């Protein structure tokens, strides 16, 4: 019997076997989507493999084949299987990452019941009603007015969309109805061509003359592409060194070799300029994948890629799964960015997996950053990646001068707010006077990060999470940044009943207000998650570019790759915030943020200046960022990690457990730790089992959180221990959720 092993979108690790009905036989191939009966439902799955074997008892036949041509090409399918194994993730959920939205016909075949794709109606092509003239002839005087005009027009052009006729004749619809009754025209619904992928056509640009450093970088990458050698490059270029131009030329070279490319960027909404540059170079041959697309648009993009009509895909981490044909190049821009790690569902790291996918396809990976991650640095040091440097800015502007302001010694400026020191205040004044722009970076959104009862000292905390609530002035409410809690500040303290609260600290909302009050002539704008999602980010950045904003206040959103030539001053309001997080990567993260935000200054003709406020200028990450000394930072941080046995000089995984009941969560975590310890002992104790311990944020959304950290020098013993934990997961109490996070990034 012919059997198909099918990945179904259910949280069960393995594939399911189905009989392949004779009628489908040869048409079913690996990578094709099929509809399978499952329990009382029908699900869309993907065929992983076909084999001849004795069918298992109770095996059911496949209900239907969805694709003629497999939705997932063979190299992508193999990659997805590797990924699932590596992350201990259910294959069905992994495969789903690579699938397009399902079409209407498939949705109908699934029936109306809820599917694991959500209750879906499916994507259907848009239809347009056309009118065509018949060979019938009207009697004399039979038609008057618009009907006569419409008929004459349709006869002249042969066929026309009704919508177009309506643009010209107001009662075209009624006229068409009348003409149809008379048998003079017929109507037909035709599938509309998919809408043009972009609302506006791209303005094409000509490549810059590459600088010598860019030329050398391009030559190295192109040589690997020509030899079809799978190689990884770490492109370490200072901010403004023109990394994008290197990507563009490498992609052009790949296309000449008839190879496709994928470009991953941290957050596509924050990089409209970058996308514009790709479109300017390659026109509509670029598929831009972002979360703002409708299902129909996503379906259309996917179809164009899969059919080979487009060979460059650009998008956030999920673009890693784009069905690009003959993949030759994967670029990961700002490879150090933590957003490449997916923190829910399948917890994959798009940067690490980019290397795998390119490797499988015999392609080249380019990891680009001004501040490489320690992981990529270690790849380069161990010879698994080749470092290429762009040491200077492309238009030879100097890197901005960075001044450290010691908040312990320097007085507040005229605003009276300690957060705006006198030197920062004066620098803003000077910049505004010179009619240049300012960016102020503060990594706290909201108005006041905490609220406290002045009578008993009790902080206002979330009822469901163990975190302080943030006061948001815009909505005049307190919000939890971990769950959706958002409510007016209570009239009285929950503990002592007094009605006296004090707002503590400064968030971006307050900073914006302070700036507007201190510099009444200046136009102030804010960029953070509260004001900006998707298209709104673009609008705010466009206003900054058009010089309609003098001071831009924002969270880490302002540190991204923006190329704003008139920004000459960058102020970092509190450099210490990122350093106080309980995470071994806090120093790395703080360093990257500081260097990246500093890199926004002085990208045009006028030199840039950066003011970093800190309570301790001696901290390594701060002091080295002030000198733009990336190499020294990497060297020291790597030494620290080696000494403490942290990644990338060890392998780690986090087992997370949560439950509504604290004891139940703790108990389950103890169970899994025991399993891990036993498995490790069986391997001579090669794996350190740290925990169980309460998570730094002990409770989120009313669930108590515990965890065990696993660490080993080498990967194989770690994998074996994780496999034991994975096998033990189904034995936990019902309400307990346990997840495995391989190479964890977020530790809170
Ligand atoms: P990075 O991504 O390395 O920070 P960008 O790619 O944004 O740098 O380039 C910085 C600026 O330099 C951009 O305005 C870009 O147009 C310009 N640029 C890049 N390469 C060249 C070049 N070879 N000659 C002149 N200008 C260049
Ligand atoms: Zn909460």
Distance 571 CA to ligand 2 centre (A): 31
CA distances (Å), 562 to each of 314, 594, 601, in order?
17, 14, 10
Q: For residue 316, what are its two tokens?
A: 């956030």
Give CA–CA dist 367/385, Å, rounded: 9
- Residue 395 near ligand 1, beta carbon < 6 Å: yes
- Residue 561 near ligand 1, beta carbon < 6 Å: yes
Query: Which atom of ligand 1 lies nearest, measured to the CA of 273?
Result: 7
Query: Which atom of ligand 1 lies nearest, measured to the CA of 239?
Result: 4
Lowest-confidence segment of 164-168, 320-324, 331-335, 629-633 by average pLDDT: 164-168
The per-residue pLDDT for 111 is 65
Reported as a pLDDT band with limits 50, 70 and 90, residue 50 is: very high
pLDDT tens-digit map of 267-283: 877 777 888 889 889 88
Distance 265 CA to ligand 2 centre (A): 30
Neighbours of 536 (CB within 10 A): 12
The per-residue pLDDT for 118 is 45
- Residue 211 near ligand 1, beta carbon < 6 Å: yes
CA quadruple 179, 184, 188, 194: dihedral sign: negative
Burial of residue 649 (CB within 10 Å: 0-12, 13-18, 19+) is middle
β-bridge partners, 185: 133
If one residue of 394, 596, 599 were mutated to test the ligand 1 pocket, choosing by the most ligand atoms within 8 A of its CB, it would be: 394
Tell how far CA 661 is from the center of its chain: 33
Q: For residue 536, what are its two tokens?
A: 């709104």
Question: pTM, whole model, 2 decimals?
Answer: 0.87
Tell how far CA 221 is from the center of its chain: 26
Give CA–CA dist 71/384, Å, rounded: 32
| Residue spans of beta strands (DSSP E) within 524-593 | 524-527, 551-554, 567-572
Distance 7 CA to ligand 1 centre (A): 45
Reported as a pLDDT band with limits 50, 70 and 90, residue 192 is: low
Distance 562 CA to ligand 1 centre (A): 11
Whose CA is closest to 559, among 512, 610, 519? Answer: 610
- Residue 596 near ligand 1, beta carbon < 6 Å: no
DSSP letter string, 272-330? HHHHHHHHHHHGGGEEEE-TTS-HHHHHHHHHHHHTTS--EEEESGGGGG---TTEEEE
Which residue has better confidence, 105 or 450?
450
- Residue 397 near ligand 1, beta carbon < 6 Å: no
DSSP state of 492: S
Neighbours of 435 (CB within 10 A): 10
pLDDT tens-digit map of 638-681: 999 999 999 999 999 999 999 999 999 999 999 999 999 999 99
Residue with structure tokens 């190049």? 329
pLDDT tens-digit map of 473-504: 988 899 999 998 998 887 778 778 787 888 98
Please state, rounded to an integer, the average pLDDT across all residues of the chain: 89
pLDDT tens-digit map of 51-71: 998 888 888 999 889 887 889
Give CA–CA dist 150/165, Å, rounded: 7
The ligand whose atoms approach the alpha carbon of 460 most closely is 2
- Residue 271 near ligand 1, beta carbon < 6 Å: no
- Asked if 641 and 633 touch (Cβ cutoff 8 Å), the reply is no
Lowest-confidence segment of 223-237, 302-316, 320-334, 653-667 by average pLDDT: 302-316
The per-residue pLDDT for 123 is 63
- Asked if 244 and 274 touch (Cβ cutoff 8 Å), the reply is yes
Give CA–CA dist 36/6, Å, rounded: 9
Asked if residue 409 has pLDDT above 80, the reply is yes
- Residue 237 near ligand 1, beta carbon < 6 Å: yes
Distance 464 CA to ligand 2 centre (A): 5
- Strands 386-390 and 501-504, by their bridges, are unpaired
- Residue 208 near ligand 1, beta carbon < 6 Å: yes
Give CA–CA dist 249/214, Å, rounded: 10
Give CA–CA dist 606/468, Å, rounded: 42
If one residue of 237, 244, 564 were mutated to test the ligand 1 pocket, choosing by the most ligand atoms within 8 A of its CB, it would be: 244
Query: Which atom of ligand 1 lies nearest, measured to the CA of 211?
Result: 23
Asked if residue 294 has pLDDT above 50, the reply is yes
Give CA–CA dist 241/630, Å, rounded: 14
Asked if residue 255 has pLDDT above 60, the reply is yes
pLDDT tens-digit map of 145-191: 888 888 888 888 778 888 888 888 888 888 888 888 888 898 887 76
Asked if residue 334 has pLDDT above 60, the reply is yes
DSSP letter string, 585-600? THHHHHHHHHHHHHTT
The per-residue pLDDT for 163 is 80
Type and span of the H or E element at 220: helix 212-226
Residue nearest to atom 9 of ligand 1 (CA): 242
The per-residue pLDDT for 23 is 84
Residue nearest to atom 5 of ligand 1 (CA): 242
CA quadruple 212, 218, 224, 228: dihedral sign: negative
Burial of residue 58 (CB within 10 Å: 0-12, 13-18, 19+) is exposed
Give CA–CA dist 423/437, Å, rounded: 17
Tell how far CA 690 is from the center of its chain: 30
SS3 224: helix
Residue nearest to atom 10 of ligand 1 (CA): 240
Which residue has better confidence, 533 or 168?
168
CA distances (Å), 367 to each of 183, 194, 227, 399, in order?
65, 34, 19, 22
Distance 594 CA to ligand 1 centre (A): 20
pLDDT tens-digit map of 692-742: 999 999 999 999 999 999 999 999 999 999 999 999 988 888 899 999 999
Neighbours of 677 (CB within 10 A): 18
Reported as a pLDDT band with limits 50, 70 and 90, residue 116 is: very low
Instruction: Name the percent of the chain in helix, strand, coil, to the closest 5.
Output: 35, 25, 40
Q: What angle separates helix 350-360 from helix 374-381, to the nearest 10 degrees?
A: 40
**What's the rounded mean pLDDT across residues 308-336?**
93
Residue nearest to atom 19 of ligand 1 (CA): 242
């Amino acid at each position: 019997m012919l059997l198909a092993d099918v990945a179904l979108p259910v949280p069960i690790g393995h594939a399911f076997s189905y009989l392949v009905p004779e009628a489908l036989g040869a048409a079913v191939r690996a990578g094709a989507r099929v509809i399978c009966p499952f329990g009382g439902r029908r699900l869309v799955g993907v065929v992983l493999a076909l084999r001849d074997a004795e069918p298992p008892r109770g095996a059911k036949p496949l209900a239907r084949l969805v694709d003629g041509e497999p939705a997932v090409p063979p190299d992508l399918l193999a990659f997805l299987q590797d990924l699932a194994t590596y992350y201990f993730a259910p294959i069905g959920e992994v495969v789903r990452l690579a699938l397009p939205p399902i079409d209407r016909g498939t949705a109908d075949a699934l029936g109306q019941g809820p599917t694991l794709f959500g209750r879906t109606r499916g994507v259907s092509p848009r239809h347009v009603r056309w009118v065509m003239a018949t060979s019938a002839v009207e009697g004399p005087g039979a038609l008057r007015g618009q009907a006569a005009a419409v008929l004459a027009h349709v006869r002249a052009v042969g066929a026309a969309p009704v919508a177009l006729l309506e643009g010209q004749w107001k009662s075209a619809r009624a006229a068409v109805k009348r003409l149809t009754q008379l048998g003079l025209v017929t109507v037909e619904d035709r599938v509309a061509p998919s809408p043009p992928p972009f609302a506006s056509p791209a303005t094409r640009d000509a490549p810059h003359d590459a600088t010598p450093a860019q030329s050398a970088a391009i030559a190295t990458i192109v040589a690997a592409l020509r030899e079809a050698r799978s190689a990884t490059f770490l492109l370490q270029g200072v901010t403004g060194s023109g990394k994008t131009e290197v990507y563009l030329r490498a992609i052009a070279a790949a296309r000449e070799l008839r190879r496709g490319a994928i470009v991953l960027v941290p957050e596509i909404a924050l990089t409209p300029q970058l996308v514009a540059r790709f479109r300017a170079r390659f026109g509509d041959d670029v598929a831009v994948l972002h979360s703002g697309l409708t299902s129909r648009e996503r379906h259309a993009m996917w179809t164009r890629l899969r059919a080979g009509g487009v060979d460059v895909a650009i998008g956030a981490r999920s673009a890693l799964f784009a069905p690009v044909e003959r993949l030759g190049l994967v670029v990961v821009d700002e490879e150090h960015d933590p957003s490449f790690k997916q923190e829910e569902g399948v917890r994959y790291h798009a940067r690490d997996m980019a290397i795998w996918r390119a490797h499988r396809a015999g392609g080249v990976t380019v990891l680009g950053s001004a501040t490489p991650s320690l992981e990529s640095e270690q790849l380069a040091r161990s010879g698994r990646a080749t470092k290429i440097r762009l040491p200077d800015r492309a238009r030879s502007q100097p890197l901005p001068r960075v001044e450290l302001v010691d908040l312990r010694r320097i007085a507040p400026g005229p605003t009276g707010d300690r957060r705006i020191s006198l030197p920062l205040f004066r620098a803003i004044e000077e910049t505004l006077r010179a009619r240049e722009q300012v960016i102020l970076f503060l990594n706290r959104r909201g108005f006041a990060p905490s609220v406290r009862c002045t009578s008993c000292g009790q902080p206002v905390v979330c009822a469901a999470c163990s975190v302080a609530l943030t006061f948001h002035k815009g909505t005049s409410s307190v919000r939890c940044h971990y769950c959706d809690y958002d409510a007016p500040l209570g009239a009285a303290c929950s503990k002592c009943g007094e009605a006296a609260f004090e707002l503590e600290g400064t968030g971006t909302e307050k900073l914006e207000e302070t700036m507007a009050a201190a510099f009444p002539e200046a136009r102030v704008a804010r960029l953070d998650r509260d004001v900006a999602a998707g298209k709104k980010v673009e609008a705010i950045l466009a206003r900054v570019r058009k010089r309609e904003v003098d001071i831009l206040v924002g969270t880490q959103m302002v540190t991204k790759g923006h190329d704003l030539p008139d920004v000459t001053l960058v102020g970092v309001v509190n450099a210490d915030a990122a350093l106080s997080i309980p995470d071994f990567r806090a120093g790395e993260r703080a360093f990257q943020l500081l260097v990246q935000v500093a890199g926004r200054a002085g990208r045009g003709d006028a030199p840039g200046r950066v003011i970093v406020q800190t309570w301790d200028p001696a901290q390594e990450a701060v002091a080295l960022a002030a000198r733009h000394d990336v190499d020294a930072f990497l060297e020291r941080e790597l030494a620290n990690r080696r000494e403490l046995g942290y990644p990338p000089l060890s392998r780690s995984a986090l087992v997370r457990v949560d439950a509504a009941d604290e004891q139940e969560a703790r108990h389950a975590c103890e169970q899994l730790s025991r399993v891990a310890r036993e498995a490790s002992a069986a391997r001579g104790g090669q794996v350190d089992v740290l925990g169980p311990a309460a998570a730094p944020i002990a409770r989120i959304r009313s669930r108590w959180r515990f965890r065990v950290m696993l660490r080993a020098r080498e990967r194989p013993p770690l994998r074996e221990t994780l496999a034991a934990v994975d096998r033990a997961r189904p034995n936990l109490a019902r309400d307990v959720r346990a997840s495995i996070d391989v190479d964890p990034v977020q530790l809170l």
